[in-house]
Amino acid sequence: MVSVTYESVEKRYGETLAVDNVDIDVEDGEFAVLLGPSGCGKTTTLRCLAGLTTPTAGSIYLGDYDVTDVHLKNRDIAMVFQNFALYPHMNVQENIGYPLKVAGQDEKTRNERAREVAEMVEIEELLDRDVDQLSGGQRQRVALARAMIRRPSVFLMDEPLASLDAKLKISMRSRIKVLQRELGITTLYVTHDQEEAMTLGDKLIIMDGGEIQQIGTPDDVYHEPNNQFVAGFIGSPSMNFIDVEWSDEQTIAHSGGISDFQAELDQTVAARYDEYDSFRLGIRPQYFAAHTTPTENAVPGRVRVTEPLGDEQLIDVVVGLADGESLDITAKIPNNITVSRNDDIWLSIQDALVHGFDIESGDRIEEADDARYRVADSPSTDGRRSETVHD
């Protein structure tokens, strides 16, 4: 197995810059996920490693070996595509064994290896079946087995679960993760689904506009995003962003003049942002506590929509109707707080968990790092978290 390194990789299509100065290091045996919205350059980045696209500039290494100009068949890489790319005139066993046939292996060896990897992905009973008789999940497993049979140095996967239904996606995610751990093969995986990325990846590579926005563990990019793009892209529902300014040393108010949005911050939290006259406050939906009666230091609002989620519920709250302008906030709260459309509600902020962003650059205000702490996941009955855990 090998590591993968991108050094200042760039790809242009005419005047269009698809990938801009990409530097990536993926360790031997690591599962790295390229994550970002459609058109961000993640698939182009993967195709450069596969040898399907030639970089305009920069170098790509497998271990210490520069493969930038090496033909794709000599890169010892296996790739799984979104459309599976199975051969319709071959049965399952023949599809799985085809890479070995191309490599000149005899039929007995091909069949033995095909059965071995079919057992790993739990489709050994399908070996004699035609591929047009398979379900989507079964076809995906055949594609995985075909990639695995070569025992490559690197796996590349480009949206391999995109065409599967939600339940099957979860099952296949688990299977892919288990197989990758068992085989220990360095893997780069492309997806636009942040839940999929957070579940699978040891390392997330967040891209936007052809550029890398952040590289880190799922925990890093969720709790300490580099900028507003990463903060908004990671997490579902998305983070709330509110422009605020100081009304006194510890109290923030909405910069647009919505008088209902004011909150006094803890002194330690306020100190993170005291060098900024105004900044963009980032609050994840679960970092609000909801109250059905007026509460000190809570923002009053009105429920617009409720969305039950089992143990929790999402509520869309409108703040500031009396000011002529309004602010929409999404909060995730326990389902034992009974609220309906048009009910009044008060939202208090777990201020130690907020982020601050520079309004002009979108960069996170990094001075906040040492002061932040996380709260355990189990909410109490009033929506507040029950235990604090320091970073």
238-390 matches 4-232 in CATH topology: no
DSSP string over 285-344 = GGGEEEESS--TT-EEEEEEEEEEETTEEEEEEEE-GGGSS-EEEEEEEETTS---TT-E
- pLDDT number for residue 85: 78
What pLDDT sits at residue 323? 63
Query: For residue 384, what pLDDT is reported?
Result: 37
- DSSP letter string, 130-141: BGGGS-HHHHHH
Residue 321 has a pLDDT of: 75
| Residues 332, 175: Cα–Cα separation, whole Å | 30
Question: Parallel, antiparallel, or unpaired: how do β-strands 65-66 and 203-208 relate?
Answer: unpaired
More confident residue, 83 or 46: 46
Which pair of structure tokens corresponds to residue 94?
């023949």
CB 14 within 8 A of CB 185: no
What are the boundaries of each domain within the chain? 4-232, 238-390
d(CA 67, CA 60): 6
Assess whether pLDDT exceeds 60 at residue 378. no
Task: State yes or no: pLDDT of 381 exceeds 50.
Answer: no
Give the percent of the chain with pLDDT over 70: 93
Least confident range from 54-63, 67-76, 365-374: namely 365-374
**Cα 116 from Cα 133, distance rounded (Å):** 21
Assign 388 a pLDDT band (cuts: 50, 70, 90): very low
Is the pLDDT at 367 greater than 60, yes or no?
no
Instruction: Tell me what the pLDDT averaged over the chain comes to.
Output: 88
Give the mean model confidence (pLDDT) for residues 42-63.
Answer: 96
Provide the pLDDT for residue 370.
47
| Per-residue model confidence (pLDDT) at position 145 | 87
Give the per-residue pLDDT at 21.
95
- In this predicted structure, what is the pLDDT of residue 179? 85
DSSP string for 223-269: HS-SBHHHHHHSSSSPPEEEEEEESSSSEEEETT--TT-EEEPPHHH
- Token pair 């990671």 in the structure block, residue: 234
Overall fold of domain 4-232? Rossmann fold (3.40.50)
Mean pLDDT calculated for residue range 165-194: 88
Q: What is the pLDDT of residues 190-249, one digit of tens each?
A: 999 999 999 999 999 999 999 999 999 999 999 999 999 999 999 989 999 999 999 998
Judge whether residue 276 has pLDDT over 90. yes
What is the fold of 238-390? Answer: OB fold (Dihydrolipoamide Acetyltransferase, E2P) (2.40.50)
Question: Tokens for 303?
Answer: 């429920």
Q: What are phi and psi of 361, to 5 degrees?
A: -90, -25
